[in-house]
């Protein structure tokens, strides 16, 4: 019977210096798939991101997790103890549940993040191109992608900001009706400020101005973000051009004073001005909050927004888990039906054989029956047989994933060899006596 296994490591189990050693680089994926397939693994999908690497397999016989781990590490020329105690493994139903949680963002470093769903889809498609996906992992990954999409469309698990840059975008949307009309001014070259500017540009901001004391650094950032460089000496005159200002420098004093902002607001005819101060110590005088149509948020304000969104996302987890359990039940039934199919086919064949044998014996005893009567009796007997088998067949399908159920069904109902029947034959012989 087919068994599904996942062996992996992620940000919860191992630090980046360990994870990077066992991650499958895109340029080696084809080699990796050939390597695993050569070891006799029927189906395999490799999921490798910055926060996790996982090996999913489907095989006709249960595969020991240690064997997969050893093959995985051997591919990189690493000893088996390299990630001892830093990996996890799940079989069958638990493997499916784990993948569904991954696709929904419940197992991510950033709860509900959307990127992982695309990464799961990419991993599945790469495995398809490598010819490494068959019936079982194909069905598993299609259902994972399906439930991942439902989690994001039917719950708020991915709604709201989960980074300082994302928080800035959310706040900007509340201040400006349309970000596509907004100009962003980035003062400084700090990473968080740069990421925030990038988030605003990706959200549709019309133009980016980059201002830094070191002109070469400003030019480098402007080139990366498709922005325009303005010199530090031109800061005041460009302040009035900006709708959103991000301050992210290492200066030890205020770069934007209340007077400077007041002058800019007048030149803007009091249109809203959104100021984001990510610097520590702060670069914008907090007194600017006294000015009309000026909205100032510092790093603590933005991180509070992130925390609030995280709490909102946490409230959605039970809804997502309910979707996962529903899809997991559907997958388990599908898996059970696939596992039960050979036994069901055997059972139906045996039932048909015994029905035909009984009909032949009956017709031998009643030779005067017309052809029409024979057909009517045969149809009734076959219908009765299927009616009697209907409930047992459904029970076998429903319980096929339970350990031992299929073997019990096989022993009870299906003949072990020619002339040796299960319950069907035994009961028939008892009645004949």
Q: What is the pLDDT of residues 352-366, one digit of tens each?
A: 888 999 999 999 999
* Strand positions, DSSP E, 60-179: 88-91
- Bridge partners for 46 per DSSP: 55
Q: Look at residue 408 in the predicted model and tell me its pLDDT.
A: 65
> Is-catalytic flag, 182?
no
Tell me: pLDDT of 101 over 70.
yes
Distance CA 377, CA 372 (A): 9
Structure tokens at 424: 């069907």
Task: Tell which residue, 263, 221, 219, 212, has the closest CA to residue 241.
Answer: 263
114, with CB counted inside 10 A (0-12, 13-18, 19+), is middle
Domains assigned to the chain? 3-154 (3.30.460.30), 164-292 (3.40.50.720), 333-432 (no CATH)
pLDDT greater than 70 at residue 402: no
Q: What pLDDT shows up at residue 11?
A: 92
Tens-digit pLDDT profile for residues 2-43: 899 999 999 999 998 999 999 999 899 999 999 999 999 989
Q: Which of 209-218, 260-269, 417-426 has the lowest mean pLDDT?
A: 417-426
Predicted local confidence at residue 333, as pLDDT: 84
> What is the CB-side half-sphere exposure of residue 343 using CA atoms within 13 A?
27
The pLDDT tens digits for 188-200 are 977 888 888 999 9
Q: What does the pLDDT look like over 42-65, one tens digit per residue?
A: 899 999 998 899 999 999 999 999
pLDDT at 70: 95
Tell me which residue of 19, 85, 101, 91 sits closest to 53, measured CA to CA: 19
Q: pLDDT band at 418, cuts 50/70/90?
A: very low
| Contacts with 207 (C-beta within 8 Å, 6 or more apart), sequence order | 183, 184, 227, 228
Query: What token pair was written down for 20?
Result: 């990077």
Phi, psi of 55, rounded to the nearest 5 degrees: -115, 115
- Residue 413 pLDDT: 61
Tokens read off for 316? 């959605």
Two tokens, residue 239: 């302040």
pLDDT for 405 equals 60
Which residue among 50, 104, 182, 211 is the active-site one?
50
**pLDDT score, position 403:** 58
pLDDT at 350: 84
Token pair, residue 315, equals: 């409230």
Tens digit of each residue's pLDDT (9 = 90 or more) over 154-193: 999 999 867 888 888 989 988 998 999 999 999 997 788 8
Cα-Cα-Cα-Cα dihedral of 385, 391, 393, 394, to 10°? 150
Q: Residue 251's pLDDT is what? A: 87
| β-strand partners of 43 | 58
Per-residue pLDDT at 423: 47
Range 231-248 average pLDDT: 93
- Residue-level pLDDT at 432: 42
pLDDT given for residue 427 in this prediction: 42
Residue % of the chain over a pLDDT of 90:
64
Helices 92-104 + 115-129 axis angle, to 10: 130
pLDDT at 420 over 70: no
Q: pLDDT higher for 366 or 99?
A: 99
pLDDT of residue 335: 86
Distance CA 131, CA 108 (A): 28
Decide which of 126 and 404 is more confident: 126
Q: pLDDT averaged over the chain?
A: 89
Give pLDDT, residue 94.
Answer: 97
pLDDT, residue 336, reads 80
**Kind and range of the H or E run holding 344:** helix 299-365
The model's pTM: 0.73
**Any idea what the Cα angle at residue 235 is, between residues 232 and 239, rounded to 5°?**
155
Residue 296's DSSP bridge partners are: 275
- Return the pLDDT at 419: 46
- What is the predicted pLDDT for the residue at 23? 94
């Amino acid at each position: 019977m087919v068994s599904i296994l996942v062996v992996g490591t992620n940000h919860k189990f191992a630090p980046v210096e360990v994870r990077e050693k066992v991650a499958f680089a895109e340029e080696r994926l084809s080699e990796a798939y050939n390597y695993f397939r050569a070891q006799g693994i029927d189906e395999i999908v490799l999921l490798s991101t910055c926060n996790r690497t996982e090996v999913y397999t489907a095989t006709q016989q249960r595969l020991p997790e240690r064997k997969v781990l050893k093959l995985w590490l051997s591919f990189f020329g690493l000893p088996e103890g390299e990630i001892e105690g830093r990996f996890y493994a799940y079989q069958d139903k638990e493997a499916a549940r784990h993948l569904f949680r991954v696709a929904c963002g419940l197992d991510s470093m950033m709860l509900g993040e959307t990127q992982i769903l695309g990464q799961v889809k990419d991993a599945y498609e790469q495995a398809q191109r490598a010819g490494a996906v068959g019936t079982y992992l194909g069905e598993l990954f299609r259902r994972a992608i399906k439930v991942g999409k439902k989690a994001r469309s039917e719950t708020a698990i991915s709604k709201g900001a989960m980074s300082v840059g994302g928080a800035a975008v959310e706040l900007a949307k509340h201040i400006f009706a349309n970000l596509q009309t907004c100009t962003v001014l980035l003062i400084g070259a700090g990473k968080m400020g740069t990421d925030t500017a990038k988030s605003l540009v990706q959200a549709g901001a019309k133009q980016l101005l980059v201002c830094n004391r070191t002109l070469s650094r400003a030019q480098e950032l402007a080139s990366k973000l498709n922005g325009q460089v303005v010199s530090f000496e031109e800061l005041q005159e460009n302040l009035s051009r900006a709708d959103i200002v991000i301050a992210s420098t290492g200066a030890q004093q205020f770069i934007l004073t209340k007077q400077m902002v007041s002058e800019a607001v007048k030149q803007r005819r009091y249109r809203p001005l959104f100021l984001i101060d990510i610097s520590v110590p702060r670069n914008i005088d907090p007194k600017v909050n006294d000015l009309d149509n000026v909205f100032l948020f510092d790093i603590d304000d933005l991180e509070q927004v992130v925390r609030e969104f995280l709490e909102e996302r946490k409230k959605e987890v039970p809804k997502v888990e309910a979707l996962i359990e529903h899809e997991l039940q559907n997958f388990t039934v599908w898996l059970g039906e696939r596992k039960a199919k050979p036994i069901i086919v055997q059972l139906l064949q045996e039932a048909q054989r015994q029905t035909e044998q009984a009909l032949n014996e009956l017709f031998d005893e009643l030779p005067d029956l017309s052809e029409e009567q024979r057909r009517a009796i045969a149809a009734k007997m076959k219908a009765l047989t299927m009616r009697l088998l209907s409930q047992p067949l459904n029970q076998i399908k429903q319980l096929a994933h339970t350990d031992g159920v299929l073997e019990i069904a096989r022993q009870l109902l299906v003949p072990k060899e020619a002339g040796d029947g299960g319950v069907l034959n035994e009961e028939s012989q008892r009645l004949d006596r």
